[in-house]
Amino acid sequence: AEPVQAATCTVTSALDDGSIAGTLRMLLADAGCDTVNFDSDYTIYLASTLTLDRSVTIDGAGRTVVISGDSNNDGTADVQPFHVDAGVTAAIQNLTVTKGQSAGNGGGIYNAGTLTVTGVTLLANRAADYCYGGAIFNDVGASLTVMNSSILNNNAYYGVGIYNDDNATLAVTNSTFSGNIAMTGGAVGRVAVSRNSRYAEGDWVLHQLGWREWALSDGATLRRLDASLAPVSTARNCPISFLRTR
């Protein structure tokens, strides 16, 4: 028997439609495509997550390829761009993953398999509230290698750029992390509504609920600030938020 030759398939359309030939979504569903490349520069606005359920390489080399989770191109992140299933060995290289918004962990990429990310810009992705991995979430037992990549302006409560879970393997070389923002940490807030006898509406407090316009607290971790002693902004160099206490 002749050896099976690895097949390279080429994206020829920016549409996100698995029923149309030449789209990234259709080629990823084609088990005959071992490597997927691109015949031109493309920005692909995803209507839903691209799930990698088989071993495959996605390579934007020589092109400007943007995979965006902003489904309708209105400037708002909508969906998580990539999910790598357990047992899959995949590579994503030489492209940009941006405007991802996960319903849980992993704003840009959720990895449960073995993933190599090379020459990729992960830009302005966001994990869901109280979740992990603004750019990439590396799940329990998964393996992630990141090389020559840029992780920029991503957002999460924990693991802003990359979150490496228990018993997961992570190797990062020659890569840049910049402008990533954690949504936990100290901030000054003012109590807007209170059902807690320790805090009255209008009280200024220091909290650990992150930088946000509104937050909900049971009051356990709040510390009341005395605005007569000094401006409340001196308590912590953080924005002001408003809290509802239970």
Q: Is the model's pLDDT at 246 over the cut of 50?
A: no
User: Which pLDDT band holds residue 191 (cuts at 50, 70, 90)?
Assistant: confident
Q: Read off the pTM.
A: 0.77
In this structure, which amino acid lies at residue 183? M
At 18 the pLDDT is 95
User: What does the mean pLDDT of the chain come to?
Assistant: 88
At 56 the pLDDT is 98
Q: Is the model's pLDDT at 153 over the cut of 50?
A: yes
User: Which pLDDT band holds residue 150 (cuts at 50, 70, 90)?
Assistant: very high
User: Which pLDDT band holds residue 126 (cuts at 50, 70, 90)?
Assistant: very high
9 neighbors 32 (Cβ within 8 angstroms): yes
At 104 the pLDDT is 92
User: Which pLDDT band holds residue 225 (cuts at 50, 70, 90)?
Assistant: confident
At 172 the pLDDT is 98
